[in-house]
A and B are shown apart, each in its own frame.
Chain A
Amino acid sequence: MKNKLFSFRVKKLGKDLAQNDRLIINALKYGISIVLFLLCGSVLILLQGQSPIAALEAIFQGAFGNKMAIGNTLRWTAPCIMTGAAAIVAFKAGVSNLGIAGQVTIGGFLAGLIGAFYELPPLAHITLIIVVAGVAGLLWSVVPAILRLFFNINEFITSLMLNYVANFLTQYLTQQVLAGGLDSWGYVNMEATPTVLSSAVLPDLIHGTSATLAVPIALIVAIAIAFLYKYTIQGYELKQVGENLKFAKVGGVKVVKQFLIIFLLSGFISGMCGGIEVIGTYKKFNTGFADTMGWDGISIARIAELNPIALIFVSFIWAALKAGAMQMERVISVNRLTVQIVQYLFVLFVSVDYEGIYLRAKERRAKKQYRKEMESVA
């Protein structure tokens, strides 16, 4: 065929990745991240005059050493999965819901109220609390969703700011309006709502540990999200909206409706998480209990690359580090925030654009090759 051309568009370099490249990139990504993670952790621990090996041992002991430790790890796994699921739902569909912490707070607050002031048979009480907490989180997420849809205000900012509103609002209501929580010495506890009634307490999963039924509930949520995205038409449309809005629109997907659904679903899961935390672990609403939870969820979702099943495993490891960190602090007096620091550093390391770096290196090599060939010709 003659080299006549009709029209052409040039393929951008490196758009098509071979299977091989993908493997190398992933190996690079997790390999480098873990090495840097251990390195940073070791340096921080050495700076505090302790041995990193001993620290690691303490962490392992604290996370898996005995029944209590395993219970602790599982206890932290539940909220990690739930907030992670809330983040995944939103991010997969291209919605930046940074308001998870606020939605958790509002859900937790309402759970505290209903748990303490309404009397109901146990199962009904717990169910009601979880549903109301979910709806509360959902309603809290309506605000940024509406601002985005009708006034085109980026949800990135609004949802983030509403975290503070939620935090201070519940703090105000707890301290100034309720101000009735009594602590174990009979003094007024200004930082929490009254302890919930026994009918509202979420039963334990493993007796004598802090792991409650929150764990199986969280697992169900994660699996439900996986199912939603893998097997339902709704999930298919949500994914397409998130990955290519124009494509979905042209295909006849109701983009606005889907956007709203995403936000509400994400808010519902967050609110539910708040409610479960309150009636499962704390038995009362402590102000500011959700402070780091939202970010934990977002970080975990990021590491799990928005895969709901991977989320379960990442949450487990994340929770093990959390539980282990406390043990480490007790045993070898290394500040437990050290672990949190390296945990978040790990998220940074994983988020580096390894694909871009790899491709650029590849391109540069090709260019050099080209130059050399040109010179050898000339």
Chain B
Amino acid sequence: MDKPDYILQMKEIRKTFGPLVANDNISLNIERGTVHAIVGENGAGKSTLMNILTDIYKADSGDIILNGKKVVFKNSLDAARHGIGMIYQEFMLYPELSVYDNLILGFEEKKLGVFIDKKACKKKIEQICRDYSFDLPMKTLVKDLPVAILQQVEIVKALYRGADIIIMDEPTSVLTPQGIQGLFRAMRNLVSSGKTIIFISHKLKEVFEIADRITVMKDGKISGEVLPGEVTENQLASMMVGRDVILQANKVEVDFGEPVLSVKNLQVKDKDGVLRVKGVDLDVRRGEIVGLAGVAGSGQQQLVEALFGLRAPETGSAVYFEDTDITRATPRQRRCMGIGYVPQDRLGAGANGQSSIWETAIMGYHVAHGFKSRFLLNFRQIEEFTGRIVDNFAVKCQKTSDKIRSLSGGNIQKVVVGREFLQDNKLLIIEDPTRGIDVGAIEFIWKKIIDLAAGGVSVLLISHELNEVMQLADTIKVVYEGQLYDGGAHGELTEEEIGLIMMGGKSDEK
């Protein structure tokens, strides 16, 4: 057999963030003209590895060998010049500019070193579009185009910049099934004309469909490298998620009361008008923890936003809280009724990064509970409530007037979680409560959630960590493509079984 033609080799890449080892001596060989898939859970280290490749991060140690030569990039631009193009989940496009302007921005062909040579640019783009059969509306503004087209714009942009290796980070998460087929066609075209694609995904079906070779990452290491024909979906799923349980939440058996939250035929569109939640029915009973597992982007975000009044559901949807119709209630009304919410985006929605600790700590509390005076802030009460959070949740801070940004991620999360947990709420909607925090804080917050439920509070837990849902939830539901599937009661199904439902593997048992 011939020696394989590797376009890119990464050798012994190691990267740590504080105590976290994000990439633990990873070696990866990518063959020219193939689609190489990298699969793994959130936090497995895929993104870090790619960010090292594109020089967003510097590796602690290890080499990158491109076309057989060792390279050290000066910066991300330098990486792009070496032919490495990255297409992010969030498109890097200027909405107010036309497709054409977006394509050439920063990489204009120049006349006399100053003027943009529009003709040359256009010729180059047309050549690319012809070679790889793309058809883009050059003059349309980017904001007027659907996401599937935007993705093509990103691909053409990468090609225009001379990319030989195109990294696609979860490219299908924003696409419809038709859009995905279109993308795959484009990928095949690219590969057949000699480009190389690194495809990052955790949707196994897609990986099986498009990839020539699959590398599985887990906990910062490579846990296997396979060919799609060699393994079954099941085996791959277990390579991805199968691991020892690090944390064990001790659950007590409880009897649940009547439903507190009752959702009937909930339908929600996202901001682009795409239906993302497609008729969800859900009950959360008193004292019950219902866990929603699912791959990111399956409609959880829109579901939660609708449940907390941040996004209006479609007509025909109904949400009841203790027999009151709250389908159209505002977040303020919901808070006054006793519904709490821990948002996923800690510094985006959970806390105000520019504010002090107490300012973040009383948000929502000041609405639902108020102060003695309707107009003035009562600093004694503020100090008392903030102090209660700090004490009960062991927040490490010096004084409550410090900036919230000066705390660590775990401590900020404790403030946010504490704020919602200590308000005597009847229902808590909790989204990814332990994202990006250290193991100690995770254990702590888990325990608090279980205590809360034992005290009769209903909890709807939405998490992208399957393990978290499995550990905490009394009843597990799986979100896939905007619909809910049964994930059994606590401990009924194995991690692999649920993982398969998450990826649409066994979607028949609704």
List the interface of chain A (C-beta within 8 A of B): 1-11, 15-17, 231-234, 236-237, 239-240, 243-244, 246-254, 367, 370
Contacts and interface: CB of A to CB of B under 8 A. Distances in A.
B219 interface: yes
Closest 4 CB pairs of A and B: A7-B43, A251-B363, A9-B436, A252-B332
B17 to A, nearest CB: 6
Contacts of A252: 330-332, 334-336, 364, 367-368
Contact of A10 (B17, B220, B353): B17
A3 B20 contact: yes
Given A233-B377, A246-B349, A252-B332, A367 B363 contact: no
B331 A249 contact: yes
A184 B435 CA distance: 75
A233 B405 contact: no
Contacts of B43: 5-8
A11 B363 contact: no
Contacts, number: 127
A241 B156 CA distance: 39
A91 to B, nearest CB: 13
B42 A7 contact: yes
Contact of A247 (B20, B349, B465): B349
Given A8-B22, A250-B308, A233 B442 contact: no
Given A5-B21, A251-B363, A252-B335, A243 B58 contact: no
Nearest to A235: B377
A249 to B, nearest CB: 6
Contact of A4 (B219, B351, B359, B377): B219
A250 B409 contact: no
Contacts of B364: 250-252
Interface in B317-369: 330-332, 334-336, 341, 343, 345, 348-355, 359-360, 362-364, 366-368
A289 B465 CA distance: 63
Nearest to B367: A252
Contacts of B41: 7
Interface residues on B, range: 35 or more
B371 interface: yes
Contacts of A232: 375-377
B406 interface: yes
Interface of B: 17, 19-22, 24, 41-43, 48, 57-58, 219-220, 243, 246, 308, 310, 330-332, 334-336, 341, 343, 345, 348-355, 359-360, 362-364, 366-368, 371, 374-377, 405-406, 409, 434-436, 439, 442, 464-465, 467
A234 B41 CA distance: 44
27 contacts: A3-B19, A3-B20, A4-B246, A5-B21, A7-B42, A8-B17, A16-B406, A233-B371, A233-B374, A236-B359, A236-B362, A237-B366, A240-B355, A243-B353, A243-B354, A243-B355, A246-B348, A246-B349, A247-B363, A250-B308, A250-B350, A250-B363, A251-B331, A251-B335, A252-B336, A254-B330, A370-B58
Contacts of B434: 6
Contacts of B335: 251-252
Given A3-B21, A5-B22, A233-B376, A250 B343 contact: yes
Contacts of A243: 352-355
Contacts of A16: 405-406
Contact of A240 (B42, B308, B310, B363): B363
Nearest to A247: B352
Contacts of B345: 246
Nearest to B440: A1
A249 B341 CA distance: 12
A244 B348 CA distance: 7
A251 B41 CA distance: 31
Nearest to B402: A19
A10 B334 CA distance: 33
A4 B219 CA distance: 6
Contact of B331 (A7, A244, A250, A370): A250
A33 B406 CA distance: 28
A10, A246, A248: most-surrounded residue (chain B CB, <10 A): A10
B296 to A, nearest CB: 11
